[in-house]
Structure 1
Amino acid sequence: MLKIALLFLAALSAVHSQCFSKDDASKKMNPEDRTNLYKGQLHFTLDLFNAINKKIVDDNIFFSPFSVYHALLLGYFAAGGQTEAALKQSLKISDTLDKVNLVMAYKVDKRSRSSNNNSESYEFTNANRMFVDEGLQVRQCVRGLLSEELETLKFHDNPDASRDAINNWVEQVTKHHIKDLIPQDGVSENTKLVLANAAYFKGVWASKFPAERTKKQVFYVSETRQTLVPFMKQKGIFHYTVNEDLGAQILELPYKGNDISMYILLPPYSMKEGVSNIIRNLTPERLAAVVEEGYMGRDVVVEIPKFTIERTLSMRPILEALGVGDLFNSSADFSTLSDKQSVFFDDAIHKAKIQIDEEGTVAAAATAIFGFRSSRPAEPSTFIANFPFVYVIYEKPSNSILFMGVYRDPKK
């Protein structure tokens, strides 16, 4: 199972008669707007992955770029002026997609996901909230457009109860897997706004790993350190290829329903910076080549670790490195949300958890001994993820990365 949540702490400021522009009512939904939204997400996702990898060296990484993007999207809806411009650029929102149409695309996507949720194949829930202090005068047009996202709390009168309310909401959305997202000092009587996203995914492998074949094997953390971990094993028909642009063997492990798959990107064992090289070279075009390639299924012996990882990320330095402008400074402009007060974000926290087992869910894997080849051998390929690798949980209908990570060290 995979669960995750992202949080932003803040307060805000002012604007005009129409919500986002002087001619909001004249804007019409373009069928391509939802597609453009996903394109922006993908560019932002890969930039974010690079930034996190630079901050977290020699450790496991796990996060939901989908969650981070949607929490920032709420900030973009609320922003004005230079803050809005900086967020638009960092979120890779197309110049042809104005804010009115973006809100429309967001709402269409939300309705679509709601109708498809809790299917027999898998479960993916993505929820957004703007928790505002009762003293903050939110513009009426925003209340109308984002009524399902807005929730009023008494930060000023009772910050502890407000914090508990937000943490309880996150825990409920993530089926009790993400707890106490906001720490004790996370909110105060001065808090005006908390932007939050919580996401939860549970998937079952299309081809499950037989539990009786799970055995402890060596995982090579580095050339000088190794450890024993449980490895799951099966032989079956899988999509498998070698991508020289990324410097990786790539294996697709689909979840039941085939809309969502885990892709494991395994660098050559001989390449010391193999993982960072993959992340650095991973572009939207190269990712598309991987997930859209019509390569044939083939016999593959798969061995991947069984593991659970929970990670908390302090997102402020990472987001500032991505160019979110003055989001965390007193000069921040959130005039679209409220024209009565000036406020800005204090911090951003992201917490994620992944659990992989024989049944499925969400997790990692990669290969062992590796050599680049252009021809495919007749004998079954062997994919043994017994040294550091990159993994991606990818949703095909929307071309979105829901979760991603690096598995480097079973002991961390």
Structure 2
Amino acid sequence: MDLRESMKKQNELAMFLARHVFSSEAKKHSNIVFSPASIYSALTLVASAPSEPSVADEILCFLKSSSTDELNAVFTEIVSVVYTGGNANGGPEISSVNGVWIEKTLSLDHKFKYLLENFFKAAFKLVDFISNAEEVRMDVNSWVQESTNDLIKDLLSPGSVTNETERVYANALYFKGTWQTPFDDYDTRKRKFNLLNGSTVPVPFMTSDEDQYIAAYDGFKVARLPFQGGRGDTNRTFAMYFYLPRKKDGLDNLVERIATTPGFLDAHIPGREVKVGTFRIPKFEISFGFLVSEVFSQLGLDSNKLYHKACIRIDESGVEAAAATADEACGCYLGMEPPKRIDFVANKPFLFLIREDTTGTVLFVGQIFDPSQSS
């Protein structure tokens, strides 16, 4: 098994999934953010559980993995590289935790119990779905909110957990990083952001005249904003990427290119800092929730109800982001060389993502159509 190749497949699936999530909201031109990493973690947990073979098979097919062993090997690599360490040594604060709630009348497979405790490091509870489904739902939501520093609230809506629920599998992901080169607050001021309908809205733009990692490609530009790394931590590098189409209405076409071109993300990474002409990035805060299982259904995949919510805040100091995914299971399983100086003004719809560059793991991905509106 080629572990790196397996991870590459999952990373490319991030943009494949983004393409379909974005298209489901295309008519609204919504601000969207979600976490492929959180969704994959939850799916890995579900695939490893004792269940009907078709459940694991569907997940393995979607994640392009040959077996649960391969899936778990990728999970182990991500945990050991991406989610290790934290803010104590100066690097980004990042955590990914798993939780499982199981109906107490069901027998708990000893092998699965061992996996939960020793492999997934998951907190698990035997609960009473039959008589206290609403209480369990509130407990899951409370666990998610605490695990995401209060960024993700009410992941599971009233009525989503019933007396027919047998298990809830959940993942909560939290990230907080400081820019390697923070922006100066006094340079932030409102400027025009162009909307697709031809109008503009005033939004606060962060500005810098420092050298930046920027590259110009055919029809779009990419800016890479690295986060501060931990002292002595040479294995992990986190960065936020901004993909800016040249045309105001070019975001949909750019997403299509990214999602359908193998290796696109790795092939379009600014390799060196360049002198900037004008460099402006809008401040924004957005949140978004959706049923992942509805997107899977559009792709011809059967699944449990898979809930997901994410939130991201970007300002002069850095980024804070969080996401949570919960699977509710019932008894019946349903480059060009850049010029010497280059402008990068994100004043029209753009794509962004946060990834760990050593493994290529995409933590968060999203699109911005109007930074002045939360979604």
Normalising by the smaller structure, the TM-score range is: 0.7 to 0.9
CA change 1:261–1:105 in 2 (3 A) is: closer
Q: Mapping of 1:160-171 within 5 angstroms? A: 160-171=134-145
Corresponding position of 2:308: 350
Change (3 A) 1:107 1:130: farther
Q: How does 1:9-408 map to 2 (within 5 A)?
A: 32-33=2-3, 35-57=4-26, 58-78=29-49, 79-93=51-65, 95=66, 98-107=67-76, 109-113=78-82, 115-118=84-87, 119-147=89-117, 148-149=121-122, 150-244=124-218, 247-257=219-229, 259-269=237-247, 272=249, 274-282=250-258, 283-291=261-269, 295-300=271-276, 301-324=278-301, 326-327=302-303, 345=304, 347-361=305-319, 376-378=338-340, 380-408=341-369
Shift of 1:411: 2.7
Contact 2:216/2:222, CA 8 A, preserved across alignment: yes
| Aligned mates of 2:100, 2:350 — CA distance in 1 | 36
Percent of paired sites with the same residue: 28
Return the alpha-carbon distance in structure 2 between the equivalents of residues 238 and 285 of structure 1.
23
Q: What letter matches 1:117 in structure 2?
A: G
In structure 1, what residue type is equivalent to 2:312? I
The separation in 1 between residues aligned to 2:77 and 2:352, in whole angstroms, is 29
> How many angstroms apart in 2 are the aligned matches of 1:46 and 1:202?
22
Q: What are the Cα deviations for residues 191-214 of structure 1, in whole angstroms up to 9, with x where unaligned?
A: 111111111100111111100011
Conserved in 1, the CA contact under 8 Å of 2:290 and 2:308? yes
Partner of 1:263: helix, strand, or coil?
strand
TM-score by length of 1: 0.78
CA RMSD of aligned residues (A): 2.2
Quick check: 2:41–2:75 contact (8 Å CA) kept in 1?
no
Distance 2:309 2:237 in 1: 25
Task: Return the alpha-carbon distance in structure 2 between the equivalents of residues 101 and 411 of structure 1.
Answer: 41
**May I ask how many residue pairs the two structures share in their alignment?**
343
Higher relative contact order (CA 8 A, sep 6+): 1
Give the gaps of 5 or more residues in structure 2: 230-235, 322-334
2:143 aligned partner, one-letter code: W
Shift of 1:111: 4.7
Q: Distance in 1 between matches of 2:74 and 2:294?
A: 29
Matched position secondary structure for 1:358: coil
How far 1:133 sits from its partner (Å)? 1.2
* Aligned equivalent of 1:6: none
CA 281–194 in structure 1, closer or farther in 2 if over 3 Å, else same? same
State the Cα distance separating 1:83 from its structure 2 match: 2.8
How many angstroms apart in 2 are the aligned matches of 1:254 and 1:111?
Answer: 21
> What SS does the aligned partner of 2:105 have?
coil
CA shift for structure 1 position 102: 3.4
- AA aligned to 2:126 is T
Unaligned runs of 5+ in 1: 1-29, 328-344, 364-372
